[in-house]
Amino acid sequence: MTFATPSLAPTTLSAKGLLLRPFRESDEPAVAEALRDADILRWATGSATVRAPVPERAAVWLGLRMAGWATGDAWFAITDEATGEFHGALGVREVNRLPDQAVVGYWVTPRSRGRGAARTALDTAAGWALAAPGDGGLGVHRISLDHARSNVASCRVAAAAGFRLEGVMRDFVKEPSGRRHDAHLHARLATDHPE
C-alpha cells in the first residue's frame, strides 16, 4: 500500500529569539561540526547518515533534509534570530503519512545546549503543525515523538513542550552500534490544554 505524501511549502517560524528556517547548502560546515557529536550520532541522525563515509556525512544528511519538504518532512535549522548562529535541527516528519498525524525529532549542538533552544523550537514547531491551515498551520491533529528511556534530556524537552508520556515501546530504538533500547512514546494533540 502506498501513502500520498504531501509537498509542504517551505516555512520560517520565530519565537523567543530563535528563527526556525529551512536548511541551506551553506549550513554544511555547521552540520558537519554537529555530526561529530556522539549523542547526536547515537540518537538523532538516521542510518543513511551514519552509514555514509565521515567526510560525506554532512552532505548526505543535509541533502535529505533540504529535499524533505517535497515529500512531507519539514526540516528546520534552529538559529539565533539576531546573529544567525546555528543551534540545531528539528524535523516535523511524515506529515499525513497516517491521516492527520506527524512525527517530530530534534537535536541541539553541544555548545547551544541548556538554554531552552530545544524546548522553544519544539513548542513552536508543534504549535505551527497543529494549527489550522487557515491560521498558517499544517492542520495535523496528533504529533508524536520517541526517545530512548535513558535519554533523560530528550524526555524533559518533550514534557516541557507539552508532549505527554503515553507509554513504553520495547526495543524500539536501535543505536548505530546495534544496541537496542526501550523508548518512551510522547504525543501532543491539537486538543490538548497545557497541564
Ligand X SMILES: CC(C)(COP(=O)(O)OP(=O)(O)OC[C@H]1O[C@@H](n2cnc3c(N)ncnc32)[C@H](O)[C@@H]1OP(=O)(O)O)[C@@H](O)C(=O)NCCC(=O)NCCS
Minimum distance from residue 138 beta carbon to ligand X (Å):
21
Torsion angles phi and psi, residue 54, rounded to 5? -50, -45
- Number of neighbours of residue 142 by Cβ within 10 angstroms: 18
Minimum distance from residue 16 beta carbon to ligand X (Å):
11
Nearer to ligand X, 72 or 162 (CB): 162
Minimum distance from residue 191 beta carbon to ligand X (Å):
23
Nearer to ligand X, 172 or 189 (CB): 172
Nearer to ligand X, 107 or 128 (CB): 107
The C-alpha cell at 68 is 524533505
The C-alpha cell at 47 is 542510518
Minimum distance from residue 7 beta carbon to ligand X (Å):
26
Residue 27 to residues 56, 64, 187, 190, Cα–Cα distance (Å): 14, 13, 30, 32
∠ CA 99-101-61, rounded to 5°: 120
Amino acid at 191: T
Nearer to ligand X, 114 or 136 (CB): 114
Interacting residue ranges for ligand X, rule: CB under 6 A: 39-40, 43-44, 106-108, 113-119, 147, 151-154, 156-157, 160
